[in-house]
């Protein structure tokens, strides 16, 4: 603050006004400087917090994508389904022909049955990727005592599966059931899971290729 030297009484009325004005200006400048310094620090802190929170989702998404990429690189190319028997035909919707008592069944070879559900709709790549996910999820869930939905969600989050990939999380007695959305690049792979301590299990299922998550076929573990 600017110091005004000399007794105020020695100033003339005009000089007193000038001195008072100088004191007022100096005080205002000092207060403004202090306020600016304090506010500047506050803005920097807020900006850093905003930056951290805005980067967090992208970091989680990056970790999840890296997990998916690692599993896909360890598996065969898509498009091959060795689980479908060669020569198998699609299910016949017509009523099967019955054999009357005493009649001899036809000698023609029985045609391999056409698989249904995940075995028909998932290819070898899907099954391979599914096995990688199942192994790590089951191992983690087996360590969860009293597997409530909240604990199961936390465990799945810790494995790299964000909330948007976790569906139908529901308590079933002392167990918790859930689905994992593993769809990538137009794929339909999903997992149906049961968190039940040492007997936890996860099996593949099939979801719609696009849009909101919805299971179209599969069995519950």
User: Looking up tokens 């199961």, which residue turns up?
Assistant: 152
Residues 52 and 126 reside in one and the same domain: no
Residue 195 belongs to some domain of the structure:
yes
Exposure b/e, 95-114, CB count within 10 A at least 16 = b:
eeeeeeeeeeeeeeeeeeee
Q: What CA dihedral angle connects 97, 101, 103 and 109, to 10 degrees?
A: 50
Work out the end-to-end distance of the chain between its first and last CA atoms, rounded to an integer number of angstroms: 78
Residues 47 and 127 reside in one and the same domain: no
Residues 52 and 132 reside in one and the same domain: no
Residues in the chain: 221
Q: How far apart are CA 129 and CA 125, in angstroms?
A: 6
Residues 37 and 125 reside in one and the same domain: no
Q: What CA dihedral angle connects 64, 68, 74 and 77, to 10 degrees?
A: -160
User: Looking up tokens 């909330």, which residue turns up?
Assistant: 163
Residue 42 belongs to some domain of the structure:
yes
Residue 105 belongs to some domain of the structure:
no
For the chain (221 residues), the mean pLDDT of every run of 10, in chain order, is 48 43 44 43 36 51 87 90 62 58 67 70 95 97 97 97 97 97 94 98 96 94 92
Residue 198 belongs to some domain of the structure:
yes
Q: What is the pTM of this model?
A: 0.62
Q: Which residues contact 81 (CB under 8 A, 6 or more apart)?
A: 120, 122, 123, 124
Backbone Cα Rg of the chain: 35
Q: Which residues contact 144 (CB under 8 A, 6 or more apart)?
A: 151, 152, 155, 195, 197, 200
Question: How many structural domains does the chain have?
Answer: 2
Residue 77 belongs to some domain of the structure:
no
Angle between helices 149-158 and 124-141 (to 10 degrees): 120
Q: How far apart are CA 179 and CA 93, in angstroms?
A: 31
Residue 179 belongs to some domain of the structure:
yes
Domain extent, residue 150, equals 118-218
Domain edge (last residue) among 34, 56, 78: 56
Residue 184 belongs to some domain of the structure:
yes
The confidence score (pLDDT) of residue 94 equals 53
Residues 208 and 127 reside in one and the same domain: yes
Domain edge (last residue) among 38, 56, 74: 56
Residues 52 and 128 reside in one and the same domain: no
Residues 210 and 132 reside in one and the same domain: yes
Residues 207 and 128 reside in one and the same domain: yes
**Element housing 66 (H / E):** helix 13-73
Q: How far apart are CA 129 and CA 74, in angstroms?
A: 8
Residue 93 belongs to some domain of the structure:
no
């Amino acid at each position: 603050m600017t110091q005004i030297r000399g007794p105020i009484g020695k100033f003339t009325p005009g000089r007193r006004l000038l001195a008072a004005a100088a004191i007022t200006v100096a005080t205002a400048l000092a207060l403004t400087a202090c306020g600016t310094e304090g506010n500047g620090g506050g803005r920097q802190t807020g900006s850093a917090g905003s930056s951290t929170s805005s980067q967090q989702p992208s970091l989680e998404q990056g970790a999840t994508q890296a997990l998916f990429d690692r599993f896909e690189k360890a598996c065969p190319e898509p498009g091959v389904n060795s689980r479908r028997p060669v020569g198998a035909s699609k299910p016949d919707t017509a009523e099967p022909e019955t054999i009357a008592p005493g009649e001899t069944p036809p000698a023609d070879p029985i045609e391999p049955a056409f698989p249904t559900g995940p075995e028909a709709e998932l290819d070898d790549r899907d099954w391979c990727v599914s096995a990688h996910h199942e192994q790590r999820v089951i191992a983690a869930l087996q360590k969860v005592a009293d597997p409530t939905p909240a604990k199961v969600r936390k465990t799945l989050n810790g494995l790299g599966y964000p909330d948007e990939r976790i569906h139908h999380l529901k308590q079933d007695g002392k167990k918790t059931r859930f689905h994992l959305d593993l769809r990538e690049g137009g794929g339909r792979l999903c997992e149906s899971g049961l968190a039940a301590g040492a007997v936890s299990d996860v099996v593949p299922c099939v979801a719609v290729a696009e849009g909101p998550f919805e299971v179209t076929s599969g069995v519950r573990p």
